[in-house]
Structure 1
Amino acid sequence: MTNSTAPSRTRVWLEPLAIIAFVMVVYPLLIQITYSNWLPHIGLAFAMLWILAGRLRVWVVIAFILARMNGAWINWTFFPHKYGYDYPPGILSWRVTLNADWVTVVLGQLDILCALLGVLYLQYRKVRPDQLGETVGMVQLHVAALITAVLGGLKDTFYVLYVHDPLLPHVFSVFFGHFIGVMLVAPLAAMLIERIYRNGLSDVLAEAVLWMFPITAVLLSSASAIGGDGGEILRRLLLVGVVVMAIRHGWRGAAISLAIVSVGLQVEALYDRGLQSTVVIQSFVSVAGVMGLLFGTARDELVGQRIQLEGELQDNRELRSQLVSAAFNAQKVEVGERRELALELHDEFGQSLTALQAYLRVAKQNGSMPPFDTLQSLTDQMRNNIQGVLERLRPSVLDEVGLFAAIDRGAVRGVANAAGLEFTTEMQGDARLLSHLADTQELMMYRIVQEAVTNIVRHSGATECSVRLRLSERSGQLWLFADVRDNGVGRVHMLTQGNGLRNLRQRLLAIGGVWHWSELNPGLRMHLLLRQDLGGVATIVE
């Protein structure tokens, strides 16, 4: 017991520690690249909360709160001149936190709450990371990103009003920064985590590195050199690259190319202070991202639908081939049965008729009557032969009492009782629909049940056998189900169908029936479905 629980307890402690360590290291580094057009640490928080569901979400929140309170130590240690801090290198930011007023401290910790509320929306909509390949999933991700962005903008609006600093452009920048951070990082994280998205990912990355990266570098370098409206036009051309990657590789291509474009704009903003306002750059990235990701998702869905359609067409071709083969085999079986009946009539009935004619000819020549017992025996034999042939063509009990009663009180029960089986039958649904059952379906169902019970008697070693019929009307069609099960020792992989079952299955497929075997514990279960129009015309079951 100790060995089985020790790994789980270890994991319970290691996972939170790993999350805190990861965030404490990565968060300060991401802060260094939040200069203008994105807030990747918000996207990281959102992605971790979305992917690490359940109890780990609490630790993600704790980790980002700690990182936010303690995140300046890297800035002060490695970038003291950039931020103008006069604290000794390496000092923790707790001094700043303790010296700040409570409103500033609380507002500084609300970014993680904004991301959490966006993730909770996705949880409410039941959107998982593996659903980004669907348009609905991608749209809901953008709605969650918008929720996170609106809450982040409202938070900073309150702060602007609190400090009486008219920095409304800063509020818009925060809004776009939150939105872009989620829109960039969350798809990339899902792409790396979900196995279904990693298939073929190397090809997407290779094309992005070989084409999108150099094109982005050339366009942005030229834009910085030209400047003005010409430079802005060159930057807008980057949207074409995002769309092309979306066309070629779906939303994954759009996400990777959008990340390359955003990084390029970030680098350009770091070295060119003469660019247009941050909000203009952010709006461009937002529009490009939304268009590229949604367009890529729509492309993926179309490709998936095409593949599915091709698969269905292939299945239809195989089904049509099976139906043609089944119809041909059923016709061969029918011809064979007719030949057997003809031979039986010729051999047995013909012999009896020949003997009767011989007796009558001798009696006529001798002028005497043949023995009555002899004539009676010949006529009984002829009648039995005729009756046997007629029963093989169509059991009279079906016309006399109907399908269910024929199974419950006819030859099927007789075979089961003779073998010592406990045989039970049950009729479910609307029994009045039996009168609408076509002769072909009725005879087919009777024959299959009869053959199945015979196989149980011969091969299963069962002590119990049950037959359940169910009739229902669905969309103007009559659905007939049969369930035959036993408690024997049979297994599906051991099931061998003799000529009787094989021939019946071919005929069943030819009229659109479905036949399925499954294992019980113990025993086997045969599930049979026939479907026909209420007018009596059988239809194919898809």
Structure 2
Amino acid sequence: MSTAVNDSRVAGARRADAGLAAAAAAAVFADALADGGEGGWGLMLLTSVAMCAPLAWRRTEPVAALVGVMLGALLHTALGTAVPDSALAFLVALFACYSVAAHAPLTGALAGLAVAVAGSAAVVRVADAAAPVSDFLAPALFFPLVWGLGRVVHGRVVQTLQLRRSAQRLEAERDERARAAVAAERARIARELHDIVAHGVSVMVVQSGAARRLLESDPATARRALEHVEATGRDALAEMRRMLGVLRRADDDLALTPQPRLDQLDVLVRRTRDAGLPVDVRVEGDRTELTAGVDLVAYRVVQEALTNVLKHARATRAVVELRYGATALALEISDDGRPGGTPPAAAAGDGHGLVGMRERVTLYGGRVEAAAGAGGGFRVSALLPYDAGGSP
């Protein structure tokens, strides 16, 4: 609930209570005139207002309002401006007792009940010093009854406020989850775009460089390299359109291509070979049907590793190994490029691709390692459980 709406409700309640106090004062004054109270109409009006005016603060200061009403009733009775058995004056006191029970905490409400019972007894004593005990019984019975009703209302009001706060908290948590989901989706799209652009541009740079060197000596080969650059660029653009399509309205009715999977690995390997890097693919074990998410992550791991080899390793050969085990798929991509223990991407001051790769694999309960190979070059290995949760 907004602050403006809450302030408007509070102001409305205050106006209503002020109107109630004015109406009660007018009714008590008219009742005193009709009953022929003493002191003239001016004094009657003054004592009626003194008794009923505190009702304007019955919600904000309920205990003080009750004390004011009871003191006004004592004044009203002591000056003789009201007959001792005035029903309206008694109803005003009962309503003040109800208000203190409904709007004050328990300690204040109990104190208010004591003030109401004692005040009513004082009014009876002031009206008739020789009043019998029976005249004190009515206040002793009615005030606790209306006080109990007020506490029931108080409990319901507190429960309503708690439910409202709980609903506001749940709404805030829902909004926070929605924001987190949006952030996660943006990160996923960023990783996808990185994979698409990095691999495509790496292949295009290698091929265009080869075409430039062969343009005069071997025009036919240079032409084929440029055709490969064009095809790679078109494929990268198509994948980028597919990824960015999720940001468009759902009713655009886009015919989006499916996410890449390991059954498209031969296309990725062919592109890498066409870029000038020989790649061997080795598969061990019986192929296992993978979930869409694990399939996509496995493809992206191979794609990122080959992209890094093209960009940084200065390798002459790469090997992609897929080992289908009983419970998990093991991937290993190695090359014979630059020796040493520095990851290719880190050596170039990048590292975002490897970070994204680790995030993807970890999301599916797997693990990934990137380190120098035992005989030189670089090796990326990943283990992806078949039954991993998560989503791409």
Q: What TM bracket, shorter-length normalisation?
A: 0.3 to 0.5
User: Which structure's CA Rg is the greater one?
Assistant: 2
Question: TM-score scaled by structure 1?
Answer: 0.30
Structure richer in helix, relative to its length: 1
Question: TM-score scaled by structure 2?
Answer: 0.39
